[in-house]
Amino acid sequence: MSRADVAAAILWTGATLYALFGGADFGAGLWDLIAGFDDRKGAAPRARIQRSLTPVWEANHVWLIFILVVLWTAFPEAFGAIMTTLYVPIALAALGIVLRGAGFAFRKSVQRLEYRRAMGATFAVSSLVTPFFMGAVVGAIAAGHVPAGGEGEPFSSWLQPLPLLTGALFVASGAYLAAIFLVADSSRAGDGEMERYFARRALWAASVAGAFAVAGIFALHSEARYVFDRLTAEGLPLVVLSALCGLAVPALLLVHLSASSGRFGGAADSERNFRTRVLRGARRGLRPLAAGAVVAVIWGWGVAQFPYLLPTSLRIDQAAAPGPTLDAVLIVFAIAAVVVLPALGLLYWLSQQELLRD
């Protein structure tokens, strides 16, 4: 494996972590949006979302900066081609990130009700449109709509079925991950009502994300034949793994909802003990399986695209920076892995243990 391949693997690792943490972060904003316009009805889910996001929402987006820095430094040709072709959805996504951060920060600080609602709406709507435009960028790259020399079509490059479907898939998968994470957070807080609330929404999101994923396969066949052919050959084990994880999660959610609503029969004491064991097992399996479904998709895409960074116009070795630059990227990554990753791990652990306050 060459240094360029290692740098590409690092880039894909950053994309995976951002899809998991950043995606769930955006997805929580979507659930905030559809919690309802009635302040009393939406107060409980919004409060749960606020408590879950506040300690970690900025850290979740560190991975986006990581992706951009690695892409710019290790693969400057690809960076330039993407930015000069897909600057419209990238600019819209960047605007959404800014508005989303402002809305999330200020909606708790402002005093007047109409301003608080306006900030909340800004946060929620931006949580919907930002991942959509990010997904459109990824879809346009996978479809081969970004020429190696850049300066591609600014609109038709991403206003195509595959990029638009990928954008929708990003939104749905983020909502799916967020609902799964919020089930666990609600359980840890002892809030059975919110646990069931988000479990039902996780079921809906899983169904929608699965439908978009299937539609995306057909769009890949039509618009990105190189990626489709490798995805159904070299990447097939990862596709199967993602499908198995994706099917297991709804099954566990149904078991979880049945157990939490007391649908299992039996004597009183044994029934309670059985329900407790079932619920504990279902909760433990939800997050690893949901994350596994998403991770397998991302790495399946990477396998399908290999050895191209921009299918089928720019290979990884062609896009790579000179050797000394790649060496610097690898050294910095090794230092960051030792210094930054433990700090982020501690932050997430403290958040999961409810040891951080707003």
Give the tens place of pLDDT for each residue, 4-47. 999 999 999 999 999 999 999 899 888 988 886 666 777 888 88
**Which token pair is 260?**
């939490």
- C-alpha Rg value of the chain to the nearest Å: 21
pLDDT band of 67, cuts 50, 70, 90: very high
The predicted pLDDT at position 303 comes to: 95
Give 81's contacts (C-beta < 8 A, 6+ positions apart). Answer: 146, 147, 148, 149, 150, 152, 310, 314
Per-residue pLDDT at 146 exceeds 60 = yes
Contacts of 291 (CB under 8 A, 6+ apart): 20, 177
Q: Other CB atoms closer than 10 Å to residue 253's CB: what's the count? A: 23
356: pLDDT confidence band, cut at 50, 70 and 90? low
Task: Report the half-sphere exposure of 121 (CA within 13 A, side-chain side).
Answer: 9
The per-residue pLDDT of the chain, averaged, comes to: 87
For the stretch 241-288, pLDDT in tens is 999 998 999 888 888 777 666 555 554 555 555 555 655 656 677 889
Q: What is the pLDDT of residues 99-117, one digit of tens each?
A: 988 888 887 777 777 777 7
Whole-number pLDDT of residue 274: 52
The pLDDT confidence band at residue 297, using thresholds 50, 70 and 90, is: very high
Q: Say if residue 127's pLDDT is above 80.
A: yes
pLDDT, residue 354, reads 67
CA–CA gap between residue 308 and residue 314 (Å, rounded): 6
In this prediction, residue 319 has a pLDDT band, given cuts at 50, 70 and 90, of very high
Q: What is the pTM of this model?
A: 0.90
